């Protein structure tokens, strides 16, 4: 799991956005699959967290090259957050709002950031603590069971 902190000069300022990054077996010849786990109001990111970004697609339709690395991908996503591309949207209604009612777009994006992307300071407040020991054990048991299932299938 990866995190992107919204840049101060954007509508996502102070938000902490969780991302899932899946590196394929054929990496770096194939791009990783990246999606937001945190809800975000953005024309190039859909409700399932999928990201419309050129470097996440293989040529000829995309711009992925083996020279790209995970750091450059995360940087590109931060740049996309700061400067949406309304000409290639996943969410056409948000893209139209960004183009024609920008103040409304900015207000909604800030609202969603405050609601869904807990800030760094908020993670130390009550309700954001680590799972209880019993919950940790359950999660660890689930992970162990998944590993054992994989081994059994081989």
What are the catalytic residues?
52
Contact yes or no for 3/80 (Cβ under 8 A): no
- Torsion angle (degrees, nearest 10) of CA 78, 81, 87, 92: 140
| Residue positions counted in the chain | 154
- Long-range contacts: 69-75, Cβ < 8 Å, 24+? 69/28, 70/21, 70/23, 70/32, 73/21, 73/31, 73/32, 73/34, 74/2, 74/4, 74/19
For residue 3, the cross-strand partners are 18
Angle of CA points 52, 56, 61, to nearest 5°: 80
């Amino acid at each position: 799991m990866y995190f992107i902190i919204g840049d101060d000069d954007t509508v996502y300022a102070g938000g902490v956005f969780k991302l899932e990054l899946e590196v394929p077996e054929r990496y770096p010849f194939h791009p990783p699959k990246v999606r937001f786990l945190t809800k975000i109001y953005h024309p190039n990111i859909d409700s399932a967290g999928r990201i419309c970004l050129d470097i996440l697609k293989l040529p000829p339709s995309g711009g992925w090259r083996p020279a790209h690395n995970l750091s450059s991908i995360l940087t590109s996503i931060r740049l996309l957050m700061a400067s949406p591309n309304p000409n290639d949207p996943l969410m056409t209604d948000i893209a139209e709002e960004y183009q024609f009612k920008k103040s409304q777009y900015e207000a909604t994006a800030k609202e969603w950031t405050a609601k869904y992307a807990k800030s760094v300071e908020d993670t130390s407040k009550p309700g954001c603590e680590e799972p209880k020991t019993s919950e940790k054990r359950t999660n660890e048991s689930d992970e162990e069971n998944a590993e054992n299932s994989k081994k059994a299938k081989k």
